[in-house]
Each structure stands twice: as structure tokens, then as C-alpha cells.
């Protein structure tokens, strides 16, 4: 009898322990009573009625990532390619998630495939390869709207990989190679052009410097010639001044010595002879000197010697 009571107590304790539930962080429990939805337990300690209540589903409320296998799609220009997608979603309503759809992950996968085919069907190959951001945005909006009745929020959709056919890949590689070669040729031509321009500018600068140097040299030579001529002119002027001074001194000395008018006229005649400097063949004599009787003979003799 005591053993039977002990068994009953153990069973009761087990039932009571099973009625105590602790919901961890970022989880929610959907509870049913006699098969009907009773409520949703959030984080914390909860109690349920034994044999009547049960936890129908434990739901993870954290953001989840699902990587779907590549799906075959056809572009607007009839190119078949394979695209795999990654969907980031989060459960926002545990009740709707538990009762809205039978297999939510499979539903999201099929919905992603059909949405992707609809979007890619309106794009050509080049647009598909260069419009990932646009495709991601359209898919996220469509999936978020479609999964809202299931208590799911689609936060982000990414095209993980776009796999075109082999012949398309080969053509793209050849096109990329041709483009790289074209860019290389353009870069080489630009470099040669810049080098030619640099060389031409160097020659131009050298010619300008050479012309400037020649100009400065000519200016220096002209200034040197000018200074030389000035020095020569100053020397000649100084010599003439000295000759005139010597002549004046001679005349003054003659006057001081008491020379008569005839001697002075002879000296004047000698001065005319020096003025001729051996080059003149005709000399104009002042009228005062022409009156001398002996001067005519001297003048004829001087003219004949010249």
C-alpha cells in the first residue's frame, strides 16, 4: 500500500513539473488547450493545466537566413541561366506562423522562385547582370507582402550568384578581354601622346631659352660696342681738346714773345695745312691772308705738293 502511494506521489510530481515551462529569450511558445489555440507564451515562467494544455510549437523569433538552391530562369531575350538566392526573414506573429501555412520554409522557397522568374522575365541578360540591387529590392517587396499573412517579415533578399550558360560565359570573357586590350591600347596611346607633348614642350622651352640667351648676348655686345665707341669718341674729343689747347698755348706764347702779324698769318696757314690732314686738294683761305704777297706762292707750292 505504501509503495502504491509512493508511485502516485511520483506521478503527481512529474505532472506538476511538466506543467511548469520556462520560455528562453528570443523564443515564443504557442499553447493549445484541447486542440484549440490557447495563447502565446513570451519570455519567462509559465504554467499549464496538466493533460489539457500542451505546447503546440516552439518558435524562434531571431532573424533567420535561408539559402535556396539555384533556380533556372529565362530572361527577356531567351537566355536561360541559374540564380541562387539568400532570404533573410524574421517571425513577427507566432500564432499566424503556426497556423498560417503548413511548411513556411518551403512556401518561402517556392514563392522566391516564382517571384524571381517573373522579375527576370522582364529583363534582358545585360540588365540582369547589372541590376542586382533593383532585383533584390523588388523581390523583398513582393516576398514581404506575400508572407505577411503567415506572420513572417522578409528583411532582405540577395542574389547570391548568377550563373549564365557556358557559351555566354565564354562570350563575356572574350568581350572582357577585348575591352581590356582596348583600354590598354588607349592607355598606351595616351602615354605616348603625353610623352610627345612633354618632349615638344621641352624643345620649345629650350628654343625660348636659347633665343633669350642670344638676345641677352646681343644686348651685351651692343652695350659693349656702345661703350667702346663712347670711349673712342671721348678719346678723340680729348685729343682734339688737347690739340686745340696746345695751339692756343702756342699762339699765346708767340704773342707774348712779340711776334708780328706776318708770323701769326704763317701760323694760321700751317693750321690750315694740318686741317687738310693730307686729304684735301683745295683749301679756302680767309681774305685777310690772301693779301699777303708771299702767301700766294706758298699756297701754290702747298697745292702742288698735294
pLDDT in tens, 172-207: 778 888 888 888 888 888 888 888 888 888 888 888
Given this model, what pLDDT does residue 29 score?
93
For residues 136-148, average pLDDT: 91
Model confidence pLDDT, tens digit, residues 59-77: 999 999 999 888 889 888 8
pLDDT over 50 at 8, yes or no: yes
> Do 61 and 91 contact (CB within 8 A), yes or no?
yes
The lowest-confidence range among 112-121, 154-163, 297-306 is 297-306
Average pLDDT value for the chain: 80
Q: How far is CA 73 from CA 108, 143, 178, in A?
A: 17, 18, 28
**Cell numbers describing residue 261:** 702779324
For residues 252-276, average pLDDT: 59
Given this model, what pLDDT does residue 129 score?
82
Q: How far is CA 263 from CA 119, 259, 293, 303, in A?
A: 136, 6, 14, 21
How many C-beta atoms lie closer than 10 Å to residue 120's C-beta?
Answer: 24
Ranges of CATH 3.30.479.30 domains, the chain? 64-164
Name the residue with higher pLDDT: 273 or 115.
Answer: 115
Given this model, what pLDDT does residue 92 score?
92
The lowest-confidence range among 111-125, 136-150, 161-175 is 161-175
For residues 201-228, average pLDDT: 85
Name the residue with higher pLDDT: 281 or 52.
Answer: 52
For residue 93, what pLDDT band results from cuts at 50, 70 and 90? very high
Pick the CATH number of 64-164 from 3.30.479.30, 3.40.50.300, 3.30.930.10, 3.40.50.360: 3.30.479.30
pLDDT over 60 at 280, yes or no: no
Is residue 278 left, alpha or beta, with left meaning phi > 0 and alpha meaning psi from -120 to 50?
Answer: left
Amino acid at each position: 500500500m505504501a509503495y502504491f502511494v509512493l508511485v502516485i506521489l511520483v506521478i503527481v510530481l512529474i505532472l506538476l513539473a511538466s506543467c511548469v515551462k520556462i520560455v528562453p529569450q528570443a523564443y515564443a511558445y504557442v499553447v493549445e488547450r484541447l486542440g484549440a489555440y490557447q495563447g502565446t507564451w513570451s519570455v519567462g515562467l509559465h504554467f499549464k493545466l496538466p493533460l489539457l494544455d500542451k505546447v503546440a510549437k516552439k518558435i524562434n523569433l531571431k532573424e533567420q537566413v535561408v539559402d535556396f538552391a539555384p533556380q533556372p530562369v529565362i530572361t527577356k531575350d531567351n537566355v536561360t541561366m541559374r540564380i541562387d538566392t539568400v532570404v533573410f526573414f524574421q517571425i513577427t506573429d507566432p500564432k499566424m506562423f503556426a497556423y498560417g501555412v503548413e511548411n513556411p520554409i518551403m512556401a518561402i522557397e517556392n514563392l522566391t522562385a516564382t517571384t524571381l522568374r517573373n522579375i527576370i522575365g522582364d529583363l534582358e541578360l545585360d540588365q540582369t547582370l547589372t541590376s542586382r540591387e533593383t532585383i533584390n529590392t523588388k523581390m523583398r517587396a513582393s516576398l514581404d507582402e506575400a508572407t505577411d499573412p503567415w506572420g513572417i517579415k522578409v528583411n532582405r533578399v540577395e542574389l547570391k550568384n548568377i550563373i549564365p550558360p557556358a557559351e555566354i560565359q565564354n562570350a563575356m570573357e572574350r568581350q572582357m578581354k577585348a575591352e581590356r586590350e582596348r583600354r590598354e591600347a588607349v592607355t598606351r596611346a595616351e602615354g605616348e601622346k603625353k610623352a610627345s607633348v612633354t618632349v615638344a614642350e621641352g624643345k620649345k622651352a629650350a628654343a625660348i631659352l636659347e633665343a633669350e640667351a642670344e638676345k641677352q648676348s646681343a644686348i651685351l655686345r651692343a652695350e659693349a660696342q656702345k661703350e667702346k665707341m663712347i670711349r673712342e669718341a671721348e678719346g678723340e674729343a680729348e685729343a682734339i681738346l688737347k690739340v686745340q689747347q696746345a695751339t692756343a698755348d702756342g699762339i699765346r706764347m708767340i704773342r707774348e714773345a712779340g711776334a708780328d702779324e706776318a708770323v701769326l698769318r704763317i701760323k694760321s696757314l700751317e693750321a690750315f695745312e694740318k686741317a687738310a690732314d693730307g686729304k684735301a686738294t683745295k683749301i679756302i683761305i680767309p681774305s685777310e691772308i690772301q693779301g699777303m704777297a708771299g702767301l700766294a706762292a706758298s699756297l701754290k707750292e702747298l697745292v702742288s705738293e698735294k
